[in-house]
C-alpha cells in the first residue's frame, strides 16, 4: 500500500560559516492515512525542520519526500503552495486569528483564498465549526472566546479545507495545562473520526497522547514506535543518563 507520507533518506544541511549543521541527518519515515503520530525531541533536535518539510514549506537538501504518492521534494514554491492548500491543515501555537473578522469569517478565509464560491464556503466553514463544537459562536469575534475556544477555531479553519494531514506544531504551547488537555482530547477525537494527525512537541506528557512517537535527536530518528512503550519517553543519550552508563 502507498504511504500517505514517505520520507526517504532525508537530509537538511545548513552551512553556517565554517560549520555544517545536519538539521535532518538521514531520516526515513512513513506515516499512513488515519495515524496519530507525535514527533518529539528536545530543542534543536530537528522537529521544526521536519515539520517544514512534511508541511511543504521547505525542501530537503537531499533525499525524497512523497505526499499522497506525489514527489514534493523537488517542487518549486508555487507547486508547493498548491499542494499545501490541497493536502495540509496547519495548527500553530499562535492561533493567528484575525481580530476584526468573526469566527465564521476566520474559518472561511483559507477557502476564500482557494477560490471556493461564497455559499459553499459558508457551508463548509459552518460544518467545521460544528465539528469543533463552536457553531453557536460563528458570529462572535475571537476576543469574545477563551484561549481554548480560539485554538478550536484555528482547528476548524485547518479542517475547512478538508486536508489529508493535520499538522499541529506545539498546539498547546500557549494554553494552560487544563485547556491544553482539552485541545489534545479534541485532536484525538478528530483522529478517531478518520483524520491523520501529526503533532510536533518537545513535551513527553503531550506526546504520549498520540498512538505513535517518533523521537528525533541531532536530526536522527532514535525511536519510532508505540507511544505507550516506556522506551518512547526516555532519551538514551541524554545528559542525565550519562552517569548510569559508567561501567556498562
Of 45, 48, 179, 217, the one binding Mg ion by CB under 5 A: 48
128 binds, among ligand ADP, Mg ion, none (CB under 5 to 8 A by kind): none
Q: Tell me the C-alpha distance between 168 and 38, whole Å.
A: 9
Q: Tell me the C-alpha distance between 210 and 171, whole Å.
A: 13
Distance from CA of residue 14 to its chain's centroid?
23
Q: Does the footprint of ligand ADP cover residue 48 (CB under 6 A)? A: yes
Please report where in the chains the cell 496519530 appears, as a residue: 36
Q: Does the footprint of ligand ADP cover residue 43 (CB under 6 A)? A: yes
Q: Which one, 42 or 144, has the nearer CB to Mg ion?
A: 42
Residues of this chain, 15-34, that bind ligand ADP according to CB under 6 A: 16, 21, 23
Q: Does the footprint of ligand ADP cover residue 203 (CB under 6 A)? A: no
Q: Which one, 22 or 122, has the nearer CB to ligand ADP?
A: 22
Q: Which one, 49 or 150, has the nearer CB to ligand ADP?
A: 49
The alpha helices in 9-102, defined as continuous H runs, are 47-54, 77-87
Q: Does the footprint of ligand ADP cover residue 41 (CB under 6 A)? A: yes
Q: Does the footprint of ligand ADP cover residue 160 (CB under 6 A)? A: no
44 binds, among ligand ADP, Mg ion, none (CB under 5 to 8 A by kind): ligand ADP
Q: Tell me the C-alpha distance between 216 and 25, whole Å.
A: 10
CB of 217 to Mg ion, least distance (A): 14
Contact (Cβ atoms closer than 8 angstroms) between residue 190 and residue 156? no
Q: Which one, 13 or 141, has the nearer CB to Mg ion?
A: 13
DSSP letter at 157? H
23 binds, among Mg ion, ligand ADP, none (CB under 5 to 8 A by kind): ligand ADP
Q: Does the footprint of ligand ADP cover residue 201 (CB under 6 A)? A: no
Q: Tell me the C-alpha distance between 124 and 198, whole Å.
A: 23
In the chain, % helix, strand, coil (3-state, to 5) comes to 40, 25, 35
Q: Does the footprint of Mg ion cover residue 201 (CB under 5 A)? A: no
The alpha helices in the chain, defined as continuous H runs, are 47-54, 77-87, 103-113, 118-131, 147-160, 177-192, 204-207
Contacts to ligand ADP by CB under 6 A: 14, 16, 21, 23, 41, 43-49
Amino acid at each position: 500500500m502507498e504511504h500517505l507520507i514517505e520520507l526517504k533518506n532525508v537530509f537538511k544541511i545548513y552551512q553556517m560559516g565554517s560549520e555544517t549543521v545536519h538539521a535532518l541527518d538521514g531520516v526515513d519515515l512513513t506515516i499512513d492515512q488515519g495515524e496519530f503520530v507525535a514527533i518529539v525531541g528536545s530543542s534543536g533536535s530537528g522537529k521544526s525542520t521536519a515539520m517544514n518539510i512534511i508541511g511543504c514549506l521547505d525542501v530537503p537538501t537531499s533525499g525524497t519526500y512523497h505526499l499522497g504518492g506525489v514527489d514534493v521534494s523537488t517542487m518549486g514554491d508555487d507547486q508547493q503552495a498548491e499542494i499545501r492548500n490541497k493536502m495540509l491543515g496547519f495548527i500553530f501555537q499562535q492561533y493567528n486569528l484575525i481580530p476584526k473578522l468573526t469566527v465564521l469569517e476566520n474559518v472561511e478565509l483559507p477557502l476564500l483564498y482557494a477560490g471556493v464560491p461564497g455559499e459553499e464556503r459558508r457551508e463548509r466553514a459552518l460544518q467545521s465549526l460544528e465539528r469543533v463544537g463552536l457553531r453557536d459562536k460563528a458570529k462572535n469575534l475571537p476576543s469574545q472566546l477563551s484561549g481554548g475556544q480560539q485554538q478550536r477555531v484555528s482547528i476548524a479553519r485547518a479542517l475547512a479545507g478538508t486536508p489529508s494531514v493535520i499538522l499541529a506544531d506545539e498546539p498547546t504551547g500557549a494554553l494552560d495545562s487544563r485547556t491544553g488537555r482539552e485541545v489534545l482530547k479534541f485532536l484525538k477525537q478528530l483522529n478517531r473520526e478518520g483524520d491523520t494527525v501529526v503533532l510536533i512537541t518537545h513535551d513527553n506528557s503531550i506526546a504520549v497522547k498520540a498512538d505513535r512517537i517518533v523521537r528525533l535527536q541531532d536530526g536522527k530518528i532514535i525511536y519510532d514506535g508505540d507511544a505507550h512503550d516506556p522506551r518512547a519517553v526516555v532519551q538514551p543519550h541524554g545528559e542525565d543518563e550519562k552517569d548510569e552508563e559508567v561501567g556498562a
